[in-house]
Every structure is written in C-alpha cells, then in structure tokens.
Structure 1
Amino acid sequence: MQLETYISDLLYRYDCVTIPELGALLTKRHSAVIDEVSSAFYPPKKVISFNEQLQQSDGLLVSYISEVEKIPFSTASEKVQKYVRSIKSYLIEGETITFKNIGDMVLNNEGKIVFQPAYHINYLTDSFGLEQLSTPEILRETYTKEVEEIEKVIPITVSNPKGNRFLKYAAVAIIALTLGIVGAGAYINQQIADHNKLAQEEANEKIDHSIQEATFVIDNPLPAATIRLEKQSGKYHIVAGAFRVEENAENSIKQLRSEGFKARILGVNKYGLHEVVYESFEDRMEAIEALRDIRKNHNSSAWMLVRDLE
C-alpha cells in the first residue's frame, strides 16, 4: 500500500494527518524569506513536523483510503494497522523509514521517533508555481571606483554652453552608462528634449518671419479700388502673400479675384503685415488639395495658415 501517497494528498488540504498508532504529521505555514548570504528568495510554504504523542485515529486517513480504493472502512483500517506494525519493526531494527515527498523517520537512543522533513516539496497551495529565486548582489562601491578612475582620465569641462552643448551631453551620457543609473539617463533625455524644443521654436520663428514678409509680385499694379467681399468662413487659409502697405494688398486681391480666386485680406499679423489669402476652407483635406493646385499652377510660394476666425 502506498501510504505516503495518501498522506501527501491530505497534507495539501489539512494541517494534521494522523497515522493511527504511529503519530501525527503536522503542517505550519511559514512566510516568504530572503537568504542574505545566498541572495535567494523563498516563497511561503508549509513546514512539516511530527508528533509521536498524537496516535489516536481521527478517521481522516482511513476514510480517504477507503474512498480511493473503494473498500470498506474496516478493511482500510486493518491495512493501515498492518502497515504501521511493519514500519515499527523496521524502526526497531535501526533502519530509516523514508516517506516519499514527506520525510524520514528513525529511532534515537531513547527509542523515540526522530523525524526529518523533506524540503523539496511545498504543500502550500497558495504558493503553487512559485519557485526559489536567486539574484546577484549589486556592487555599487565597485561602480563608484570605476567612475572615479574615468573622471581622472576624462575631465569634463564646459567653457562655452552653446558651442560645447553636444560635448556636455556626450560626457554626461558616458557617466550615465558607466554608473547604470536610470536617473542620469532621464536627466540627459530631458536636457536634449529642452534643447530640441528651443531649437524648433527658433526655427519656426525664422520661417514664419521669412514667409510673412514675402510679397506678392505683380508686374503691372492696378490702381487702388474699393472691393466688396462676401463673408468667408473656415480656419484653413491658403496665403498668397503679406504686404507692409495696405494698398498693395488691395491690388493683389483684385488681381487674384480677376483670376477666379475668392481672395481677401485675412488681417494684420504680429509683424504689421497685411495677409492676403486665396481662399479659406472648413475642411482640412479640401485646403490641402487647393494648396497643391495653387503651388503647381499659380504660386509655388503659397502656404497654408491654420487660424480660427474671430
């Protein structure tokens, strides 16, 4: 009879499994532990112990055997008694009895049973699938000494913040990679992002200023005239040019309207220039198509301005 198999099954479910006339196997829950010496993490588990004083049958083991083997309770009880007598005889002869996945039993000099539990199996169902985990120690002091040596070889100085900006980033990046510190990497990324944002803003301002000061070239300017324009809507505007003198803006509108465009003055920008647009659109895709057509057939310098009308 595979008594240890039945006992193992019950140890997963109960904290006490009594072997009649031999003793009781008890389990106690232990929390997860960390071994500082080996840097190993052990999950929570049940630790098995043995109490020789608890020999009175509670019916748990016998009932389970009766159910599994489909035999009467009395027959299962007789089989357990016979098995226990065999175990005791071997113990008296000085042999060690091994219960697979449970532990070993042996008699000491006083005739008492000494139990050594097995540690390779965890009977705590809450920890199913959790294994021992080991992690290497982090040698922070070693990295600090390495960085000090690098600093001696590669001194980091920045005399001109603008001219040596990328050198500064490269030097900081070397330290960050050597130290393996995430914070240093984040600081560098933020510095680079700030630099890129500033450079982009400066470039946009120069482009905007250059475009806004562009003039619409007319070979034969027409005399000034008062033009009545219908109200237009839309926030996507195809810009023809911008003029310092309002009269020139009016002349360009008249010429564009004679060519079939719904031209008008959009307003005065922050540079004091009068913006002239071919047309305004509600739909962005329509504005893009119109801009492509105008650049191809009329004015390659035309561009699109996105602005909500007041």
Structure 2
Amino acid sequence: MKMTDLILKYLSIKTEVKIPGFGIFQQKNVPAFYDERLAALLPPAKEFFFTEDFNLKDENFIQFVAKEKNIDINESYAEIAELVNYWKFTLQNKIVLEIPDLGTFYFNDEGNFIFKGKHFSTESPENFGLEELNLSELKNRKSALGKSLENEYKTSRNPFWWLLLIIPVTAIIYLGTQNPELIFGKKSFKNLKKTKTDSVVKSRNLLKDSTKIDSTKSKIPTPKLK
C-alpha cells in the first residue's frame, strides 16, 4: 500500500495525521461556499487542511504504518522520511506538488507555498443530500430554455399555423348552416302541420248552410180554413 493511501486511511479513522518532519494534515467540516475556480456552489462537505511544521516529532503515524505494512518501526520511519524529503525538495524548488486524493501545494505571488486540500462530500446527514451546483451550467440551461420558448412563440405567429386553425373552424360553420344534422344530430320531434285558415272558413260556411237546410225542413205548412 502506498504511503498516501495510508495517510488517507489514517485520516478516515482519526481527524488528523502528524507527519514527522513535515506537518499536520487535518480533516474538517466546511460549510457551503462558492468556488470561483470551478464556478460552482459547493454544498457542505469535508476538506483536508495542512499546517506546516518541519520540526514535528511524533511516532503515532510511524507505528500505524509499521502495523499496516507488517514492518518494524525503523523501516516505517525510513519510508516516511524518504517521502518527506521528496516533498520538501519539490517545494524548495518552487514546483507544484500534487498529492493524489489529498490536495495540492502551490505558490502565491510572494513565493510562499499554500495547500489546497481536496473537497469531498460524505454520507453525513448534515449535508441533507445536497449536491454540487454548477452556476455556469444553470446559466446555459436557462439560455437554452429561453431560446426554446422564443422558437415556440415564432412558430405560433407563423401564418401556416393560423391557416391550419381557420380551415376546421370554417368547415364546422359551413356544416352547421347547410347540414346541421351532421353537427347537432336529428331532431327528436316532427314538425307539426299548420292548420290552414281557408279550410277553417270553408268548414264554418258548410256548417251555416247545413243549419239553414235543417231549419227549412222543420217548418210545417199551416192549412188554410175554408
């Protein structure tokens, strides 16, 4: 197992690891913040930090390495010292030092090295399942949505679409006036025939004539007396 893997494993057990002759790596909780370099809003998570101490003396990590690799203390110390010397040589020559899965050492304008630890999410309930929010990506999505709505608006103003709407409406109006049964269905009752006034007048005249005839027949001539 590589030394950097052992450092990460130690940090998963403890909150800090003391590297003799180099300094202290710590694992801390960090709140949500905006990362300008990534142009993203990072959720609450954990991050590695480093405190320089080239005079640090501690045997806890030495013993941990010896146990994990099944070697004696002297061999463990020698392997750690070899790695520390390489790190120091790189930094003294103003060379960016990247430690896999741990962080990166770089230099500011004044020539001092700065450690930027890895920012990583965990399964902690404190994070409430929040994920990294890329603001640039959101801006692009918003722009794409705006263009889509604009295209739909342009399409709705196209005369072709209005023509497709007018044709069926015109057809419905025409059928409603010329052949309403196709639209509204057949009527549920028949049209009643109107009684003609001429037939009423004729029936009344016939009634009067029949009355006159009956009255003449009913008269009996009276006999004359001699």
TM-score of the aligned structures, taking structure 1 as reference length: 0.36
Of the two structures, which has the highest relative contact order with CA contacts closer than 8 Å and spacing of 6 or more?
A: 2
Higher share of residues assigned helix: 2
TM-score of the aligned structures, taking structure 2 as reference length: 0.48
> Larger C-alpha radius of gyration, 1 or 2?
2
